[in-house]
Amino acid sequence: MSDHQLRVSKIPRGTVIDHIRAGQALNVLAILGIDGLGGETVSIGMNVPSDRMGHKDIVKVEGRELSQDEVDVLSLIAPEATINIIREYEVVEKQYLERPERVVGVLSCPNHNCITNADEPVETKFEVLDDGVRCEYCETIVREDIAAHIAVE
Amino acid sequence: MRDDHLLTAKQLSREDVEEVLDRAAEFDADPSAFGDRHEDAILGLCFFEPSTRTKMSFETAIKRLGGDSVDMGTVESSSVKKGESLADTARVIAGYADALVLRHPSQGAAKMVGEFVDVPLLNAGDGAGHHPTQTLLDLYTIRENAGLDDITIGIMGDLKYGRTVHSLAHALTNFDADQHFISPESLKLPRSVRYDLHEEGANVREHTELDEILPALDVLYVTRIQRERFPDENEYQEIAGEYGIDLETLEPAKEDLTVMHPLPRVDEIAPEVDDTDYATYFEQAHNGVPVRMALLDQMLEADR
Ligand SMILES: [Zn+2]
């Protein structure tokens, strides 16, 4: 924390996602469904020097705390990230990510022939494997570039 | 979800398989002796993809048990054409029937429908996914001809899209079977199936040439390579020729090799093989009825 985080200014209330693997900040925003149209103030630091990681990305979202679903998917693409909940400019809670057993309704299945891509009333469900995720409907395994399958509204 | 749906071969333990096969053997011995077993049962047939034989074998099975079937007809003539969701169609038909059979072109369709219906559901094929009732009749045939333990089985052809292959490979992990997969590079087992076989600790080898392994096989399971998988007709012809068998191909085989095929075949097995003791594919097709009788009997019994 501290020095590097000052590169983007402190926020009064919201969430700071720190220690994101460099280059993943925009994917993190995609997970959060943040495209600038929702009115939130968002600050991004990319390729910020980090003692621990060499370089890292940081995302600050004002006035918004993350849901468990969002945290779960975040853990898949940015497993080293820490989530700091900010109130009154202070970190009141610090979360480390834990990989969930499954993620529901967040990723879309890359298999075009999967029933979850057929306009049926089902949410996608993915089982989390050691090195990827697996669609619970068609069983397709996704290992590379999971962020590309985040279902952005 | 109900635990009496049959969605994938993965959910079958060795005991489950043996129970169904033993029961199937009873039905097989005298198929017409059970006409009063499920007299009022109605089986709902939801075939979103044409498959005359699978459908007929289910119809025959339920009639042999004394029940009857209702059929949603072809997709062209049904409300599906008007844009109704699969989930809705299945829920409506489940309201008429005591059990459902689903064939659908999308992978995972049966799993989804299973979440919506409150009668037992049998997956009769979902895209390139699973086909567990086919697997049970395959296992029945293997058991009759070679036994299910201490066997070496070769599975050849389109291993990428062949759902019968995926289901069979899963089910065989319950038994002491060495599995050899023979296919062109482009049609190898998909990653997800390999993952499961690995997780199960299955004894699995992959080959591109049949003759590397043929002399060791007790069972050779041949599947069709579909023309539409290849953009180029020449490429298809080349590969199809290489993964077909005739009497000459079979010369190095064991005398008691069992040759199977889920049918229909095109030209993967030359007709001259039909008259040999190797040929077991018509017997295999016949076994569909007693095996489906056993499955339906089990489901309807559990649901009574
Ligand atoms: Zn899928």
* pLDDT, average across residues A76-92: 89
Q: Is B54 a catalytic residue?
A: yes
Q: Is B53 a catalytic residue?
A: yes
* pLDDT, average across residues B107-113: 97
Which 3-state string (H, E, C) describes B218-238? CEEEECCCCHHHCCCHHHHHH
Residue at B3 is within a domain:
no
CA of B65 to the centre of ligand 1 (A): 36
Residue at B2 is within a domain:
no
Comparing CA positions, the residue from A124, A129, A152, A125 lying closest to residue A142 is A129
Place of tokens 């599995």: B179
- Regarding whether A58 and A120 lie in a shared domain, the answer is no
User: Is the ipTM, as predicted for this complex, more than 0.85?
Assistant: yes
Above pLDDT 90, what percent of chain B?
Answer: 82
Whether residue A114 lies within 8 A of chain B, CB to CB, comes out as yes
Q: Do A135 and B108 touch (CB under 8 A)?
A: yes
- Regarding whether B297 and B258 lie in a shared domain, the answer is no
- Regarding whether A127 and A88 lie in a shared domain, the answer is no
- Regarding whether A110 and A80 lie in a shared domain, the answer is no
- Regarding whether A82 and A55 lie in a shared domain, the answer is yes
Kindly list the distances between the CA atom of residue A73 and the CA atoms of A25, A68, A86, B174, in Å, as whole numbers in the listed order. 13, 9, 21, 35
Q: In the listed set A96, A121, A139, which residue is the last one of a domain according to the structure?
A: A96
Q: What is the per-residue burial (b if ≥16 Cβ within 10 Å, else e) of A56-73?
A: bbbbbbbebebeeebbbb
At A39 the three-state DSSP class reads coil
Query: What's the CATH code of the domain at A108?
Result: 2.30.30.20
Which residue in A115, A121, A141 is closest to B108 by CB distance? A115
How buried is residue B225: exposed, middle or buried, by Cβ count under 10 Å (0-12/13-18/19+)? buried
Query: What's the CATH code of the domain at B107?
Result: 3.40.50.1370
Give me the residues paired with residue A50 across strands.
Answer: A54
- What is the predicted pLDDT for the residue at A153? 47
At B74 the three-state DSSP class reads coil
Alpha carbon distance, N-terminus to C-terminus of chain B: 18
pLDDT over 50 at B1, yes or no: no
Q: Please tell me the distance from the alpha carbon of residue B6 to that of residue B232, in angstroms, as a whole number.
A: 37
Which 3-state string (H, E, C) describes B12-27? CCHHHHHHHHHHHHHH
Cβ proximity of B125 and B51 under 8 Å: yes
Q: Which residue has the higher pLDDT, A9 or A134?
A: A134
Segment B194-231, tens digit of pLDDT: 999 999 999 889 999 999 999 999 999 999 998 888 88
- Regarding whether A76 and A9 lie in a shared domain, the answer is yes
Q: Is B205 a catalytic residue?
A: no
Interface with chain B: mutation pick from A109, A120, A129, A143, highest number of B CBs within 10 Å = A120
Residues in chain A: 153
Q: Please tell me the distance from the alpha carbon of residue B56 to that of residue B60, in angstroms, as a whole number.
A: 6
Q: Please tell me the distance from the alpha carbon of residue B129 to that of residue A114, in angstroms, as a whole number.
A: 9
Which residue in A121, A122, A134 is closest to B192 by CB distance? A134
Residue at B1 is within a domain:
no
- Regarding whether A92 and A23 lie in a shared domain, the answer is yes
Per annotation, catalytic residue among B2, B14, B53, B205 = B53
Tell me how many domains chain A contains: 2
Per annotation, catalytic residue among B5, B8, B38, B54 = B54
Query: What's the CATH code of the domain at A55?
Result: 3.30.70.140
Q: Do B128 and A118 touch (CB under 8 A)?
A: no
- What is the predicted pLDDT for the residue at B235? 85
Domain that holds residue A39: 3-96
- What is the predicted pLDDT for the residue at A114? 97
The reported pTM is 0.88
pLDDT over 70 at A99, yes or no: yes
Segment A18-70, tens digit of pLDDT: 999 898 898 888 777 777 777 888 899 999 999 888 999 999 999 888 877 77
Q: What tokens does B235 get?
A: 């490429």
Which 3-state string (H, E, C) describes B182-210? ECCHHHCCCHHHHHHHHHCCCCEEEECCH
- Regarding whether A81 and A15 lie in a shared domain, the answer is yes
Phi and psi, residue B244, nearest 5°: -110, 165
Q: Is B82 a catalytic residue?
A: yes
Segment B114-172, tens digit of pLDDT: 999 999 999 999 998 899 999 999 999 999 999 999 999 999 999 998 889 999 999 99
- Regarding whether A113 and A75 lie in a shared domain, the answer is no
- Regarding whether A87 and A15 lie in a shared domain, the answer is yes
The residue of chain B nearest to residue A143, with distances taken between CA atoms, is B191
- Regarding whether B141 and B125 lie in a shared domain, the answer is no
Place of tokens 């080293």: A80
Place of tokens 């096989």: B217
Domain that holds residue B73: 9-130+288-302
Residue type, B25: A
List the beta strands (DSSP E) in chain A. Answer: 13-21, 42-50, 54-62, 82-87, 90-96, 102-104, 125-129, 132-135, 141-142
Segment A4-21, tens digit of pLDDT: 544 556 888 989 999 998
* pLDDT, average across residues B255-272: 95
Segment B45-74, tens digit of pLDDT: 999 998 899 999 999 999 999 999 999 887
- Regarding whether B153 and B61 lie in a shared domain, the answer is no
Eight-class DSSP state of B190: P
Phi and psi, residue B270, nearest 5°: -65, 145
